Amino acid sequence: MANSVSLNAKSNPAESRAAGQVDAKPEMTPTQRAKLQLNASIMQASASISIGAQDDPQALLYKSAITGINEALQAELGENAVQNAASQDNSPEGTAGRILSLSTGFLGAYKNQNPGMEDSAAMEKFMDTIKGGIEKGFKEAREILKGLNVLGGDIAGNIDKTYELVMKGLDDFAAKTGKPKEEKAA
């Protein structure tokens, strides 16, 4: 690198002021020196990675994106959130199960926010709302995958199967949950 940083140099406040520089602290503490040394090594490693990235820029992009996503999700989902999510069951059945569990789990909150609404009306409106959201999500996912030229074959088939399982699961949930209490007990 053209500009190297000397970590052993001690600054002379008088010389710094004479050169037009302002130096609030004449000497670095060991902690500051260690931090500067760490930053310098990170910059050097980054430069090495950037030079090597010409061979495989997509790998660098992927690693960078995954690192950023993991950092953003760490507080809510813990370390390595992306890797942990990737290890889950991503079959149509597993994915449909997660979609159903998450979406139908909001029924109680929906009813609490609409206390004057009759149960059957609340259920109908709730189901319309979540079905609309799910349909929109599937449509957007298909458009993204189509834009990436990967929507076809097994991927398209798995999306269709997942959609069918989710819609059947929603219908089953509505039939089971929407029945009057006396019918449920029978």
Ordered structural domains, the chain, with CATH: 13-85 (no CATH), 90-185 (1.10.132)
Query: What secondary structure does DSSP assign to the chain, as a single string?
Result: --S---SS----HHHHHHTT---S-SS--HHHHHHHHHHHHHHHHHHHHHHHTTT-HHHHHHHHHHHHHHHHHHHHH-TTHHHHHHTS--SHHHHHHHHHHHHHTTHHHHHHH-TTS-HHHHHHHHHHHHHHHHHHHHHHHHHHHHHTT--SHHHHHHHHHHHHHHHHHHHHHHHHHSS-HHHHH-
What value does the mean pLDDT take over residues 170-186?
72
What value does the mean pLDDT take over residues 17-42?
61
Of the candidate ranges 70-84, 116-130, 152-166, the one whose mean pLDDT is the lowest: 70-84
What value does the mean pLDDT take over residues 154-163?
92
Tell me the pLDDT tens digit for each residue of 80-94. Answer: 877 777 777 888 999
- Greater model confidence, 42 or 14: 42
Tell me the pLDDT tens digit for each residue of 94-146. Answer: 999 999 999 999 999 999 999 999 988 999 999 999 999 999 999 998 888 88
Q: What is the pLDDT of residue 101?
A: 92
Q: Are 5 and 36 in contact (CB under 8 A)?
A: yes
The CA distance from 13 to 19, in Å, is 10
Q: pTM surpassing 0.75?
A: no
